[in-house]
Amino acid sequence: MEMNKLVSGLNQKKYSSAISIYYRGDLDFKLAEAIIEYVWLNKGDRHNFQLIKQDKAKVYKMNFNACDYYLKSYAHRSVTKILKNFFRPVEAVRIFKTGIKLINADIAIANPVMALTCKKNLFITDSIFVMEKVPGVELYTYLLKFAQYSENFKINIIKKIALLWSRLVCHKFIHLDPGLRNLMIYPKEGDFQIKLIDIDNIYPMSYVPIKLILMKNLSRLRRIMLSDVSSTKIKALTSLEFSMFFFSFIKDCKGMVEFDGLKQIFKFLNL
């Protein structure tokens, strides 16, 4: 293994000529080694891993040293993805960097731990993004299971989502998949917290005008949230609750976009 070096703000350690570990702070090398051995070297303790989803990426739940982690393993073979990754950081490294930027912007997310890459050939590099498990339950599942929640509780959720999205906008992030399933709710100090748990589709857009970022985020949020609600018994937002979202949103977004501009955007989006 080679010595550690700094790569675009991340520390890098070579595990082998083909495999690299990207991390920040102190490296838990044993954790990285256990993941590498199981996913790429087909050895190690398989009892610590559980495949829970297989779509565009394989998602594993892992228990290691009494801690729970989620791994997203990317092995893209489409020409489009291969070309994109040839000119930018591979998927796991890109997401890890985005995660650090979100934390620095004080946006609540599942804590990113490390990214691993495995170079298959000149054009193809597989990767794994590792994050800590967030306690609690998906907001979608929670609202579906507890359909009789109080109006005060619903108002509190609306305000917390508005705060989360205002921070995304103010720090110029675009979220392309803001569904209820990508939010985790859990108790904290007599209240509750909402965190983003899937950040694959969040992109920093520092060069894009703030109004465009605002419209993109809110239109996606409205469309996907309404889709989640229409397909279940979850109660849809009333016009009064949409207004509450609007005023909670602008309270934290104050100074980034003028009030009249926000009103025009909300009217355009039929919010």
pTM of the full structure: 0.85
Which pLDDT score is estimated for 3?
Answer: 46
* Higher-pLDDT residue of 263, 180: 180
How sure is the predictor about 27, in pLDDT bands with cuts at 50, 70 and 90?
Answer: very high
Which pLDDT score is estimated for 271?
Answer: 54
Which pLDDT score is estimated for 115?
Answer: 97
Averaged pLDDT for residues 32-51: 91
Rounded alpha-carbon distances, angstroms, from residue 61 to 13, 58, 168, 239: 24, 10, 27, 39
Low-confidence winner among 14-23, 92-101, 121-130, 163-172 (lowest mean pLDDT):
163-172
Model confidence pLDDT, tens digit, residues 68-90: 999 999 997 777 777 776 677 88
Is the pLDDT at 163 greater than 70? The verdict is yes
Which pLDDT score is estimated for 204?
Answer: 92
Residue pair 59/72 in contact (Cβ under 8 Å)? The answer is yes
